[in-house]
Amino acid sequence: MIDTILIVCEGNICRSPMAGGLLAHELPRARITSAGLGALVGRKADTIAIELMAERGIDISGHIASALSLQDVRAAQLVLTMTLEQRRRIEATYSFVKGKVYRLGEHEGLDVLDPYRRGRAAFEMSLAQIERSVSRWLEAMIPLVH
């Protein structure tokens, strides 16, 4: 049973908070956390990310960026990154995670676009990729989280 999922992006203010919000909404019994490889520690989620998620009835306004730590990686049963490069960096740093770290877009073979400082259209495109990818993961995970 998977009940602890870690979502990782770069700054932890755009993609991972949105993906985490979607997963937490769909898997209320699971513990969903997020972190960044180059986190803008202490910053809130990007305003556009907060707005887009609010439009979907999901509140991420309380999110505060944090840096990826050994404790985060150890606690997670599944680690989802936004890019293949992020996955490789995590596996190189924490060799014990091999087999539990994947790209969020693994099923589609895609890296999720980083919308940081690129405007609402980029955020909408990124969120569309995240929503599709989260749906695919949920299809695969539902038997494992109930």
Show which residues are catalytic: 9, 15, 114
| 112 neighbors 104 (Cβ within 8 angstroms) | yes
- Residue type for position 72: D
Here the tokens at position 1 are 């049973």
Taking the alpha carbons at both ends of the chain, their separation in whole angstroms is 7
Q: What's the angle, vertex CA 73, arms to CA 68 and CA 78, rounded to 5?
A: 120
| 109 neighbors 132 (Cβ within 8 angstroms) | no
3-class secondary-structure state, position 134 = helix
